[in-house]
Chains A and B, each alone.
Chain A
Amino acid sequence: MIITKAKPEEELNEMLKPYEKLFVVGCGTCSTSCMTGGEEQVAEMVKKLGDRAIGSAVVEDPCDLRIARKELKEFKAKVQGADAVLVMSCGAGVQTVGDYSKKIVLPALDTLFIGQTERLGKFHDVCKACGECILDETGGVCPVTRCAKGLLNGPCGGQVKGKCEVGKYENDCAWVLIYDRLKEQGRPELFELFRPPRDNSKKVLTQHHVF
């Protein structure tokens, strides 16, 4: 799931300042689960904006161009009549609504990461969408994401009792997790593998995926 959080109030107000008439779009998928852009949060936003909100809609998947187009169809006049569209979704949703409507789009949220949900309101960054998954070799723990340095051959010297120097020793050292997991799984030899440098060109050249 794409994890988002609401922009700080002050930052949001500053961003909205130049616009009088706003149409608010929510997200029925990830942002609903994150409680950042579901029905409830959209209603709150509309209430907060008062007369400035000329309409709103929660789109099931605002990041899907087809669904955004289909579900916003009935609001076309309002969307087009607005000075800007305030989108309460991840960056993919904001851009899709912008591509569809060609309107000025404003992000109400900050997109944080591809996350794991531990419980409602508690999410963890677990995937950087790096394009070269090696979870088979690392005991199902991603060092690219969960190691603060993204090392493929860790740990570095900054772990103490399995905790990382980045973040005041509150986060686990990914490489100690990997070591423990591989040992538990009876595959300790994988830890000793040297992983060669990544081909970063792959990621840069993967702006589209078509099949």
Chain B
Amino acid sequence: MTNRPAYSQLVKDLRSGKFVLTGELEPEKVTSLDEIIISAKAMKPYVVAANVTDNPLAFAYMNSLVPSWVIQKEVGLEAVYQMTIRDRNRLAIVSDVLAASYLGIKNILAISGDHTVLGDNRGALSVYDLDSAQFVYLLHKMIDEGVDLAGNEIHGKVGINVGIAANPNADPLMPEVLKIGRKTKIGADFIQTQTMFDIDKTKTFLKEVEKYNCPVLVGVFPLKSFGIADFFDKNIPGVKVPPELLASMAKAKEEPDKERRSALYDEVNLEFFVPFIKEIRKTTKASGIHIMAVLYERIFGPLLENF
């Protein structure tokens, strides 16, 4: 944890010791934010803030700064503005952080981003002028010292808290843990993890990073459909949907009636994630859960009913 002030409600809550919930919104290849606003409204009662993804899986989508601002302004839901260094050099980062600052963004999740060869414009050049640790370093310079990497002065205050991502599924785990160590020492206020299905891996990771004294939000991804579950299982690095969960999803898929099928999917998810979240809350030092229920906001209510 840094000595930086808590600029955001998210970091205020994390530091107060509350068990914190965050959500996730994914602007796509669209020119309207209607859906994002609907989703943001639906999750607002449950979460303190919502991440707004930045070209996830290297798919070219709407710039995440605009929806980050819009959900704060229109919905009153604090944003965690995700920024990848895949698509920006250090000049572009400074520009975007200054703009975010003006728009009242209080959280940035500083990530490297999936490589362009995995995305929908595979011939694109990956920038990686900085890596995510150096990005955190740049944010530290801007926020805590009021300068950019070259030492040029910023006129005005950048009041933003910094999050980093972690992958507890990493195998081997130690290089990942030590990397987290580097970033927390440079200036991370919180950690959000990759999607977790494996409670043991989650616990091992949490134990390993405890020494860095940086709040961790464990990522969970309720599975809206079998298709999504299958995609996750096959395409997200290191993420394996447990076979029994995947089988239950496959079984639910067989239900021909759409409404009944949705209800079955919900049941499967609740059966898996309610105890998962409870276990994390009761038996670990995690500071909260990052719920990536993109376009599946109806699960928030039942998932968090007896929370």
Contacts and interface: CB of A to CB of B under 8 A. Distances in A.
A188 to B, nearest CB: 9
B185 A194 contact: yes
A148 B149 contact: no
B132 A156 contact: yes
Contacts of B133: 152-153, 194-195
Interface string B179-223: 101110110000000100000000000000000000000000000
Contact of A157 (B90, B117, B149, B165): B165
Nearest to B116: A166
B82 interface: no
Interface stretch (B13-21, B22-30, B60-68, B167-175): B167-175
A158 interface: yes
Contacts of A154: 131, 175, 179
Interface string A143-185: 0000011111111111111100111000000011001000000
A160 B134 contact: no
Interface in B155-180: 165-167, 169-172, 174-176, 178-179
Nearest to A179: B175
A151 B182 contact: no
A152 B175 contact: no
Contacts of A155: 170, 175-176, 179
Contact of B171 (A160, A166, A175): A160
Nearest to B112: A156
Contact of A158 (B114, B129, B134): B114
B248 interface: no
- Contact-size category for A: 20 to 34
Nearest to B149: A197
Given A165-B115, A166-B115, A152 B134 contact: yes
A196 B133 CA distance: 9
Interface string B228-243: 0000000001100000
Contacts of B118: 165-166
A162 B171 CA distance: 7
Contact of A149 (B115, B169, B170): B115
What are the 4 tightest A-B residue pairs by CB atom distance, in nearest-first order? A153-B133, A157-B167, A151-B131, A179-B175
5 contacts: A153-B132, A155-B170, A157-B165, A157-B170, A176-B175
Interface of B: 86, 90, 112, 114-115, 117-118, 126, 128-134, 137-138, 149, 165-167, 169-172, 174-176, 178-179, 181-183, 185-186, 194, 237-238
